[in-house]
Structure 1
């Protein structure tokens, strides 16, 4: 059972942006599996995509259409099929999906961005997908229920929809930031999460929007891992409709940057809380590093250790597994005598070995919690980083062994 139940929030209306869903039967009947998002004319759109060399056909097409410069007007997302590892046929199907939605909406094909998630290596069931598009367009709406339905419509092995929202006061004006995401397994994004769509009514120039997205992704979605696997389909879109207050510099920019990071961090953490088979939500804080990259390298080495992750699942205070993972991180000139490791409020390691005051019962009590913090101080600098991860359970194996059945 997934750890840390999260409630889908009320989503304020973002003027000009609407969402619609349909049950196209792409993999299973009677579930939302097709989502259309309408973007108002003149909106700015920034995107971040997977770095996996076998990127999915919709990733290739979405990148092409964003680079076209005409401006995105519609997003179309299907679940149940990743349209990845499908070669020329997959590209043809992704473009055909864009063409049909463009025809229905009366826009140019290059103003439609496609996204897919699901099983890799199987052709899209195009007849069902295309037949579902009119229904998704007909349900386009701006309200909170539409956001929730869209959040449900992009899920695969997820157990629940994931959403986040903030409304910011910028002087005499306000701006809203809404976001939805999906992801549960095959999570070590290396750019974003499996799929995330964030929108604001703020007016932001394209170059600044691109920069804000890169910054927020780096400190949110790029700081989570369930199983160290980077998907072929990862994509994160940031849409600024321009219908609200302008964000350009000064205090307004700083407040917006903080709000955007808050939304994207909530979404990223929701992915970990809903990790496949997860029973623990784990925060890894690495401090006193020479660089942020060094801190991240240590954090991810620990987060990706199967021995650490299974100890977390078993609530086993086997601190030697954490120590060993820290020691094999790619850090040059490591002085282990300067390293300290804390499990919650319990000191595990100092001066190159077990802390003198450590008691197994205290460590076991922390490991039994659903939410656990591990702090690692390297004693070699002033930089830091935080990564969020989950444990590794029997259910993770079962979910992925049965995924295609």
Structure 2
């Protein structure tokens, strides 16, 4: 069997996601040394359980935590994926998967069911069916049937399939399993499926405007699909820390309206330029202007950000969490959201700006971040620059004048006319005094 290089991007990129609720996570995980390019790496982060309901799949049930519930409408779909790849001859495949079962179990932070953990055939059966189904979404082989989301049982939409298989931390299986199945399909023990999956994931994130349209190489190692997504979310040019700020404490971000009023800060949208590597995390500050990449806000936005934050609780660097802290505190009220919407930074597709503000304010429920640690908070230098700007009286005066007297064009014209009339009246009074004193 020979692998075709194309992937099912046309299916993965036509997504409109289902709603979700709130976030929390368990801290756990380790990092290992890099693996040689071309081979699947050892696991860096675990697949952990995250509650409450936010992280529960809506349709597609994948992995150990949902294995008992998996005997449902998706059984036939997954069985069909196995038949299409192996034509029903799975005995040898099952033996190969049983050889990696111990390593696959160690990829999960929690083993919830002692009975399931003792049933080797049941666990390997789950790995085979879920792995073949995921490969049917991301890699097109010569033996593949039509793509499964189009014929999915229960009428689950493409967007729900993408949400459940890519963005949910609990709903994952290790990529080493996909790599093993891929090698059995192609007959090439040196091949690695990560490259093909990386192309599909990049296309998905580009279509949803989370990263720019510039191809990036696949990472040398990745644990599962959400971990792969996190790799492409990294800020490309984080601001450097200034020497004078290392001893100063970092505080809470001010609201966007406060930065505008007290610091005379301008908010400008940063576009993801095609051909230049950039992500929505590339926030920058330049001479009174805060540049923030455009963000499309829908229900899927919170799913992605919260699952990535839960994943980062196992890591040293936490850029997505730092970005969410910034966004939640800067735009946590309706007035702030309206300011960012007018600036073109937030493109909201929810019911109202009030709903966006509520969701942003609740984004950090259960999240803890060391804001003074530059490894965790890459936006720390920008906070200090903005704080220093807001503490200067000139900026406070200019910001207050612009906020109160120059809100729009009419206000600006009226303010200029008033200032001219005041200046003329002042000159007239000065000349009147001078003419009285110096009568000549």
Tell whether the structures are fold-level matches, with TM greater than 0.5. Answer: no
Determine which structure has the larger strand proportion and give its number: 1
Which protein shows a greater Rg? 2
Q: Which has the higher helix share?
A: 2
TM-score by length of 1: 0.29
Q: Which has the higher contact order (CA 8 A, sep 6+)?
A: 2
State TM-score, norm by structure 2. Answer: 0.27
